[in-house]
Structure 1
């Protein structure tokens, strides 16, 4: 098997910095190396040790760039790539004005394929190696996304979005077609290569109780797959849910009563949770996903990261493209810091990077497989230039610690900071402005 060594600074987590003193939660080598054999990482450590033990390996030297696990985006909408950063008011207005007209175009397999490939290329250029996406009601949109990911050997989570009310005619399916299409797509894609299927009701206002029930039934039949939806994003949305489900105890109950609350569930946003909702999500061990740039862009509210991190629920991090206003997980980490500051809390850079890698991987139930720079994990890797712009470089030059050097890139970095992206042991993106040394 061919061996490839990447050298540079290496950064790997050894513990969760939300649960452990962050000083004891990571391992950093200033002259480090990652050994890749085939699709997986087989060693991480000091460069001289790994190179001496593997004299026959090819070596790519990234200088003093930071080599870390690839970013894991735990919630986004690839069909909204074309309308990212569209002016709007709040959630419902934004959906009706931009999202629904755009998503209506995805019956066309060629158009869906074009946007799927565009989305993945943009994500990879920003250092993201795993995407978790809603598709549209059209099976063609699901096939396009999984096909584009399969061509790159990329780990993705996705599913057909189901809606049978409160949406345009061009975006409504039925109770039966939601079940039949989801089951057929699940059977086709789940577990194929690196694909994971997620049963996907958009959110309870766009599904009738009957549709939610059949999707819950399907999940009961196939508990090995994931389920993704939205929860408590905006206050007007919550009031709408109350009017549509007057007997429900709260927003979460509109899923729970139909079998759509479970450990394998992904609940996007989760900003305005009640005490009961927090207790139930924690008890189940479900995952919530923080979407900070989206929450600020459409004025949703301030996610309680530090409070929820004390519970048993998993927390992932996401761009929420295109409600989110950026493809970059670096910018997403920066927005996470800013939102926490508005709540009077300072999130450490180690916690931000952990959320974008290990945290999101855990939310997707893929701990150790993705989002980790360690032996045995897939070689999904991001290489970060810590001096990608003059503004960042002049600040990094003053840094006295690793985190002091990384934080300016978290706050000010973009795709220019991504020196390279590796997926399953293959270099799929390299910055044209960075020269690396390859030997022998």
Structure 2
């Protein structure tokens, strides 16, 4: 009986414990969601329809049509032709430019005449005269010949006045320049073909500028000219030549940069034949006389040009300020292209005007033109008597200019 009671008590305790464990879990369950509150429908009251008035006739104002305006056709703008310059005549140009030789006059005019006018012409004086001439780049051989002749003539004639001594000195200098040499430019056309002038020289001698000035000399003497820009190595050379040509109405034949110079020269002569001009002037690239390849190329230019006919003149441009170095330049160029005449530039900027004598004495090539300044007409035909008179700085004797 007692066991039964104990079992009942344990069963009761077990039942109560189980109920106690389950009650908290039931309390922690989430409450079911509340049913959503339904809102009453919103009633939108539409405004009563408005009465639309019947359409009335719309009066559109008349559009005024403007009368058609006649538009004149575009007129061509006339570009004024460039004003052509009239080069100065070459006759007497050297006399007009005589003051440009002032530096050389200090040696020839003032220096030599003052030595010769001394009361006594002893050995020391004659040595000073020799030194002055050599300093002026006359050359040793030419100087000795001039001084020997002066000494003999002053001894025989017994001259002492300044006028007589000047006349003797002038005569000896003119004689050293060999006035018998032909200094004329062969620029006249032959058998229906233009005369061809080839201009050559070293770099920096002022060759392209001189080429433009030679064209002015020819045009001043009544020749019609075509210029060939065969200096294709220097980009600005053709433009520079074209500027010179435009001033006097000449035509320039040019090729692309780095083109074959011989081809450009050939085309220039052919263009001159087609136009029937008097002279074709070809500017070539400057080159050093010791560069064999460049000198051979210059020979090629001449050979190609001669397919049209012979070259009438080959002018070598020499810088007077280079002095005796110009002699070696002239010698090499002569061997390659047979130089027929020398253009001596920058003669106004040097006291060594005697280079004219040295070039002719050493090479037998006549100086045909001299440059005496930077102006467009500062290139003059060379005439020995006028040149010596200008160097001596006195009024010309026996000159018609």
TM-score of the superposed pair, with normalisation by structure 1: 0.31
- Higher Rg of the two aligned structures: 2
Flag the structure with higher helix content. Answer: 2
More strand by share: 1
